[in-house]
Amino acid sequence: MTDNKELKRNTTAVIFSGWMKNALLLFSFFLLFTEKTEAQYPAEKVPDLEELFPVAKVACGPWIQAVGQNEFTVVWTTNVDAIVWVEVAPDDGTHFYAKERPKYYHSLYGRRVTGKLHRVPVTGLQKGTCYRYRIFQQALLLDKGNKRVVLGDPNGSDILKQLPYKVTTLNPDKNEIRFVMVNDIHANDSVFRQLTKNVHEDNTDFVVFNGDMLTQIESEQQIMDGYLNSACELFASEIPFYALRGNHENRGSFSYEFFNYFPAPGGNAYYAFRHGPAYFIFLDSGEDKPDSDVRFYGLSISDQFREEEAKWLEQVIESSEFKMSPVKIVFMHMPPTERGWHGTLEVERLFMPVLNKANIDLMLSGHIHKHSYIEKGEVNNNFPILINSNLWKTEVSVSSGSLKMQLIDASGKIRKEYSM
Ligand SMILES: [Fe+2]
């Protein structure tokens, strides 16, 4: 029995050993034929951090808006949705990093605003004072509402390789000021660049866009390409511009966004302020044709708008600040001279009687695309009206005793000069 058992065990061991050999052999063949090269094992894909966590960068700007004696607003756009802030320091020779600088935010009723267009009001400033500022943006990486919001790394404007931006508040005590006006650019960016290329180095206090900078406003890109990219490159990060609507800024599906890009002092389309010896009134002359015109598609209510504006204008000329200003200048896109068109007739009916009793020194207009100078009394006007060409700029120097105007073409040649 024992022998039989042992024989059985030995036989089983032999059979098992044979199987094992065969199995090992087969496994070796399997390894041999299934061995993979490095090329067959590509490196694990490294996540694109820029794609996962995009850094918010400036797409256009910043451009300075709504400068007053105690405030200014910084506006810019970013490549991705972001939240932003502005840090402000006095121009006192200290390093920007000398200490914590106050922060100002784009906010709405106590909440910070996310998006690609950013408007940051900086308030509580001193009149006639130069400030340095720096802009910051932080990408909105994830917005799951109340469940989770994730922000990216902050990214600020450079202050090491270049100086921080500077802006100066308005000053009623300044003895002499100078400003530049362009109008009716109609997206002619190359002419715009020629006309405004010296704004910065010429110590300009501000620039006025007196309407019709585009023929219609259909998109942000159109504003950028038409003049805003150039304005920011050339001067607008430090020299403010005031963008007054012409009739054409009322047109196009993006025209409703105009004041989000160009917030005006006081938050309305018409406004006024004092700088140096001059009081400036910016009047919005509205549309040129009757509101019922088929090209306005039932969207225009310029008549009602101008009626409201005329009431505001009556209040402005009664203010002591206006009355006490030695010089009084009015900007209005459509001059009261193109007789026969409805918009101009309304401007004549509503605004001119008010202005004629207000000791205005000068009205500056555009719209006609051709220069002319209308002497006092020519069109029931108690003050001269200077209409700038669409291809020229008007440079104005103001002191309490004089007004000097130079009309300069795109080549830099002085085409006309006036003084009062
Ligand atoms: Fe116009």
Which pair of structure tokens corresponds to residue 319?
A: 């203010």
Q: Residues 152, 135: one domain? A: yes
351 CA distance to ligand 1 middle (Å): 17
371 CA distance to ligand 1 middle (Å): 13
| Per-residue pLDDT reduced to its tens digit, 404-415 | 999 999 999 999
| Per-residue pLDDT reduced to its tens digit, 296-328 | 999 999 999 999 999 999 999 999 999 999 999
245 CA distance to ligand 1 middle (Å): 9
Boundaries of domain holding 229: 176-419
| Per-residue pLDDT reduced to its tens digit, 19-50 | 666 666 666 555 555 555 556 776 777 777 77
210 CA distance to ligand 1 middle (Å): 9
- 159: CATH: 2.60.40.10
Q: How confident is the model at residue 1 (pLDDT cuts 50, 70, 90)?
A: very low
Q: Residues 205, 342: one domain? A: yes
365 CA distance to ligand 1 middle (Å): 10
3 lies in some domain: no
User: For the whole model, what pTM was predicted?
Assistant: 0.87
**DSSP type of residue 41:** S
| Per-residue pLDDT reduced to its tens digit, 323-343 | 999 999 999 999 998 678 999
286 CA distance to ligand 1 middle (Å): 9
| Per-residue pLDDT reduced to its tens digit, 219-259 | 999 999 999 999 999 999 999 999 999 999 999 999 999 99
Q: What is the Rg, in whole angstroms, of the alpha carbon atoms belonging to the chain?
A: 34
16 CA distance to ligand 1 middle (Å): 101
Q: Residues 410, 351: one domain? A: yes
Q: Residues 185, 159: one domain? A: no
β-strand pairing of 385-387 with 362-365:
parallel
183 CA distance to ligand 1 middle (Å): 9
| Cα–Cα distance, 255 to 239 (Å, whole number) | 24
Element (H, E) at 29: helix 2-34
Q: Residues 391, 336: one domain? A: yes
212 CA distance to ligand 1 middle (Å): 5
Per the CB < 8 A criterion, the answer to whether 183 and 212 are in contact is: yes
125 CA distance to ligand 1 middle (Å): 36
Provide the domain count of the chain: 2
285 CA distance to ligand 1 middle (Å): 9
